[in-house]
Structure 1
Amino acid sequence: MIDELDLAFDENAEKGRPRHRRGSRGGKKSGGKSGVAFLMAFVLLAVLGGGVWFGYTKVKDFFVAADYDGAGGAAVQIDIAKNSTLTDIGNVLVDKDVVKSTKAFVNAADANPKGKNIQSGTYNMKKQMSAENAVTLLLDPKSRVSKGVTIPEGKTANQVYDILAKATGKKVDDFKAAAKDPEALGVQDFWFNRSNNVKATKSIEGFLFPDTYEFDPKASAADMLTTMVSHFNTVAEETGFVDKSQSARNLTPNEVLTVASLAQAEAGNKDDLGKVARVAYNRLYVGTPEIACGCLEFDVGINYYYQLTGRPTKPSGKMTTAELNDPKNPYRLHGKKGLTPTPINNPGKAAMEAALNPPKGDYFFFVAIDKQGHSAFAKTYAEHQKNIDKAKKAGVL
């Protein structure tokens, strides 16, 4: 009982002022315990404080994107692919150590009114730039190394070489030399097959897909042509060109591609591509008493050959009968059955699709009837003559 009272008394005393307990040795042992406790408390607070700081830095990094300061240091070139998103661009910049984080770049681009206008291409940048400075530099035309080369639809291979040479500083002869082996550039051998086990003339013509390209400044002529052929192959796959040529048209892909090039050359606008292709198929494979030889009778083959051989081209109205029927011209389509030996230009996707799936119709003749390039199509030569009269009245012929 007395022990219990002593314990109760001791507990009350510890809640108030300290008191001397029986048997204690001057509080020495108690002082040691206090020192250890203080040390443990200090360590615990340090650990807790470090944890709080670590957590703070992590949370801070989550809400505030990591970024460099200033305009950067060492020079570096970066390539932005076509159709890249801001995130794609940011990832490229991070990989090259231009910016510290993709998030910082995207935030800076969003904050800039022109931030979404960054174009594809090759740029001269600097390592470890602030995201804001990186966006500013990407929007500066002077930092862009390559500005893009546009190849319009319907250009011949020789015309493509001229455009590329002027844009890149390469020599036309470099492109001509590279084009001598189309298969080395990515054109598969089956593209040169024609019906009845006939082989078409191997040519790059038709396979240099028209579009805007961003070429690496260090790319060779062969590299550039390979890129264009690769784009052609992609479009051919997307449109099902090979399979549909054989299933829907019962022709080889080369033959349908050649018709696409003829339609591209003859049609005055996109609306008429399919109808011109239909005229070609009707003349070649259906026939009419007025055009019974299976001859296309298109004038465009003449000028293609003239361009190919370095001769000046002529308007159709100034071509003589002898020129139209020149037996030495392998690209003539008058008085000669069948297609030209190769495509006569590089058609775009619309022309390729028009040749695959032309509208139904018994069209055999057409003539441009307005200055916008629209044509009138006819079944008989008599109807065609009436359309010619319309064209003359409109001042087209």
Structure 2
Amino acid sequence: MIDLTDLPGQPRPESGPPRAERRRRRRRRTAVVVLVGLVILGGGTAAAWGTLGPVVAGFVESNDYEGSGSGSVDVTIPDGASGRAIGTTLAEAGVIKTQRAFVDAAQANPASSGVQPGTYRLRSEMSAAAALDLLLDPASRVTTRLTVPEGLRATQVFGLITDSTGIEQAQIDAALADPAALGLPASANGNVEGYLFPATYDVNPDETAVQLLSAMVARSKQAIAELGITPEQEHDVVVMASIAEKEARTPEDMAKVTRVLLNRLAADRPLQLDSTVSYAVNGTTVTTTAAERDIDSPYNTYRYPGLPAGPISNPGEAALKAALEPTPGPWLYFVTVNLQTGETKFATTDSEHLAYVEEFRAYLRANPEQ
């Protein structure tokens, strides 16, 4: 016999469940497909985010917690993180339930663009909207903002660090013992002085001394590179910038101070700078004594010719630029005649210089507290 059911176009005989039962099954399958289609279409990108919960008795499980949560969780938001990245970080830390919940909360809150990088103290299992509110609240931010002014010595920078952060001096000393780990350039000769760039740094609670000092060194190297300072120039430029930073207040005066240094070096004259002697004796005043100016130190520019052994402060960008591009001029001397205003006068002759020195002495007599 020929099996007609195997021929194309031939009707297949009835088999299996009755036809009515098969129709009921097809209707149920169609209903399920339509329901899933509606959920996907209605959810839009939610399906792509994988946040659709299981369907239980016709309901979709919520992708968000309710309330303000409990406990304490410290979460670090990196610089440049997107809303999705922040949502992922919060979800992985157990702060919120899903990434999608945070994205939705951020889209509903115009202030969400104001979230800053740093470490925040949040809570476990809180709603995404509540988590976003804490991220926008400065009181929740446990990151320390450390500002390093221009012209500080390394020891002064270390003092700021230990006073403002959880990093202790012993940790700093351990970091300094391995200068290679800090990324110092070869011209630094393993010394961080001059390479702790003046700027504002965000210090997280778990940040180490190596990480913080490395960030300062990296910022210094960035400024040096952006100014086009070559490796061959770097040592002398940083040293002169560190002097200019201590001796002058304005970029204009810094560039003239650098010219004085170069003119004296070219004339084979000692620099005779109180600032370098003060560094050698760890002094705190702008003037020095005769005994201090006679000490045997590679930083004593009264006793030894040429530039000091290394930088005497940590210069900022303006001082670095002034050292790289000194103002043309014949000056051989400079004197800051007013410590309050920073007024500095430049001279070419000995007699002119002595007149400015006397002006400075008169200022000191009138202002003994200086």
TM exceeding 0.5: yes
* TM-score band, normalised by shorter chain: 0.7 to 0.9
Q: Which amino acid is the alignment partner of residue 234 of structure 1?
A: Q
Maintained 8 Å contact 2:73/2:122? yes
**Equivalent in the alignment of 2:5:** none
The alignment-based identity, stated in percent, is 32
Contact 2:144–2:165 (Cα < 8 Å) also in 1: no
- Greater shift, 330-339 or 340-349, is seen at 330-339
Give the aligned residue type for 1:254.
H
Distance of aligned partners of 1:80 and 1:271 in 2 relative to their CA distance in 1, 3 Å threshold: farther
2: CA distance, partners of 1:93 / 1:35: 50
Instruction: Measure how far apart 1:98 and its partner are.
Output: 3.6
TM superposition score normalised by structure 1: 0.71
Deviations 1:145-189 (A, max 9, x none): 222222211111111111111122443243234323422322133
Aligned with residue 239 of structure 1, among 219, 222, 227: 227
1:372 to 318, 323, 341: 341
Q: Aligned in 2, Cα 1:305/1:224: closer, same or farther, shift over 3 Å? A: same
Q: How many residues are treated as equivalent by the alignment? A: 333
Which residue of structure 2 lines up, in the alignment, with residue 172 of structure 1? 169
Counterpart in the other structure of 2:15: none
Q: Could you say which residue in structure 1 is the equivalent of 2:106?
A: 106
**TM-score normalised according to structure 2 size:** 0.75
Tell whether the 8 Å contact from 1:301 to 1:344 is kept in structure 2 after alignment: yes
Q: Report if the CA contact (8 A) 1:67-1:104 is conserved.
A: no
Going from structure 1 to structure 2, the CA distance change for 1:170 and 1:52 (only over 3 Å counts) comes to closer
2:204 aligned with 1:216 = yes
Unpaired stretches in structure 2, ≥5 consecutive residues: 1-17, 52-62
Match of residue 244 from structure 2: 263
SS in 2 for 1:214: strand
Distance 1:34 1:176 in 2: 86
- State the Cα RMSD in Å: 3.5
Moved more, 39-48 or 125-134: 39-48
| Inter-partner Cα distance in structure 2 for 1:342 and 1:295 | 16
Deviation at 1:74, TM superposition (A): 6.2
In structure 1, how many angstroms separate the alpha carbons of the residues matched to 2:330 and 2:88? 55
Asked whether the equivalents of residues 79 and 122 of structure 1 are also in contact (C-alpha less than 8 Å), the reply is yes
CA deviations over 1:267-313 (Å, ceiling 9, x no partner):
123442222222222221x32xxxxx331121101111121xxxx53
- Aligned equivalents of 2:83, 2:45: Cα separation in 1: 24
Taking the TM superposition and a 5 Å limit, the aligned residue runs for 1:76-155 are: 76-82=73-79, 89-90=86-87, 92-93=89-90, 96=93, 98-99=95-96, 100-101=99-100, 103-110=103-110, 112=111, 115-155=112-152
**Matched-pair contact (CA < 8 Å) for 2:251–2:322:** no
Residue 53 and residue 152 in structure 1: after superposition, are their counterparts in 2 closer, same or farther (change >3 A)?
same
Checking the alignment, whether the CA contact within 8 Å between 1:86 and 1:109 is kept in structure 2 is no
Q: CA deviation at 1:56?
A: 1.7
Select the residue among 271, 290, 313 that pairs with 1:321: 290
Q: Distance in 1 between matches of 2:86 and 2:35?
A: 39
Structure 1 88/44 Cα, relative in aligned 2: closer, same or farther at 3 Å? closer
Q: Provide Cα deviations, 1:7-56, integer angstroms capped at 9, x if missing partner.
A: xxxxxxxxxxxxxxxxxxxxxxxxx9788667756654553344233312
Matched, 1:330 2:298: yes
- Structure 1 residues 273-292: aligned runs within 5 Å: 273-284=254-265, 286-287=266-267
8 Å Cα contact 1:366/1:377 also seen in 2: yes
In structure 1, the partner of 2:41 is 55
Return closer, same or farther for 1:276/1:104 CA change in 2, 3 Å cut-off: farther
Q: Partner of 2:203: helix, strand, or coil?
A: coil
Structure 1 alignment gaps of length 5 or more: 1-31, 193-201, 247-251, 288-292
Distance 1:224 1:382, change over 3 A: same
